[in-house]
Amino acid sequence: MELRTLRAFAEVARCASFTLAAEKLCVTQPTVSKLVRQLEDELGQTLLVRDGKRPRLTDAGSVVLGYAERLLGDAAQLRAELDGLSGLARGELRIGVPSLGGRVFVALISEFKRKYPGVELKLFEDGAIAIEAALLAGELELGGLLHPVDDPRYRTLTLVRDRLALIAPERSAWAHRPVVALADLADEPFILFTPGFALNDRIVGACAAAGFAPQVAGRSGQPGLIAAMVRGGIGIALLPASEIAASTQEGLTVCTLEADIPWEIALAWPRDAYLSHAARAWLTLAQARYG
């Protein structure tokens, strides 16, 4: 059963005229007659009585008309929904925002919501390892990963480039050391990130290259909590310099590391995955800002 046969039949029923129905559908009258006959043949029922000037519905025709109107209405609603999605009047976007580097997403979120207020942003906040797992599982369309991303399954756009800095208690031995060698921190307790953070591997690897394994005093996935733990004298930590806000520095010493431990966040998406209209719109904004 095709929508065009239902549409032709419903229009004839509404107009009580093949001629008027043909005019409304912008086709010839024989075409309308053929479509109605095709529907009758398919259903094995006579739907219209044609023995007068005005065609009349049979009992079967009345039943079919009710269904036809509902189906045509649903089809129109479907088209409106799809048009709304393509025009970004509605929809949703599932995107992974790393706990470290989340601030770089704020400007994009703000710009996106100004342009597309009808699209709901569903943000998944976690470390890069968890975000990558969600991307591969199809639970997210886009996500922030620690760069470089060497996996050929992804396409990427770099959003921020930075390096790690040392934060220590304000009255620590590092208070008057603007630059610190990583090896000098061998006896310090470290506050690392939770297992979902790929940056842990970078820090542990850099420490190994400097000749020691870090003593872990605690872990957290929240930069603010890490800073508070350092401020409380629990240990030292390595954070991206751009993530150490002026307000965070109160009660802390911030030092440059001699060892260059890079920290780059890239927006990533599976190379062969379907991207929604909303995801493509987000990428357009991101490429205009960071491309």
At the topology level, CATH places domain 162-262 in D-Maltodextrin-Binding Protein; domain 2 (3.40.190)
- Exposed e or buried b for every residue in 171-187, given b needs 16+ CB within 10 A? ebebeeeeebebeebee
At the topology level, CATH places domain 92-158+265-290 in D-Maltodextrin-Binding Protein; domain 2 (3.40.190)
Phi-psi region of 125 (alpha: psi -120 to 50; beta: other; left: phi over 0): beta
Domain range list for the chain: 3-86, 92-158+265-290, 162-262
Question: pTM of the predicted model, to two decimals?
Answer: 0.70
Q: Tell me the C-alpha to C-alpha distance, in Å, between residue 203 and each of 133, 176, 208, 285.
A: 21, 23, 9, 32
3-86 and 162-262 share one CATH topology?
no
Backbone φ and ψ of 248, nearest 5°: -70, -25
Domain 3-86 has CATH 1.10.10.10: yes
Q: What is the pLDDT along the chain (291 residues), one digit of tens a residue?
A: 788 999 899 989 988 899 888 988 888 999 999 999 999 999 999 999 988 778 999 999 999 999 988 888 788 777 756 766 777 878 889 999 998 888 889 999 999 999 999 999 999 988 888 898 898 888 899 999 998 887 888 999 999 999 999 999 998 999 888 899 999 999 999 999 998 888 999 999 999 999 999 999 999 988 889 999 999 999 999 999 888 865 567 889 999 999 889 999 999 998 888 888 899 999 999 999 997
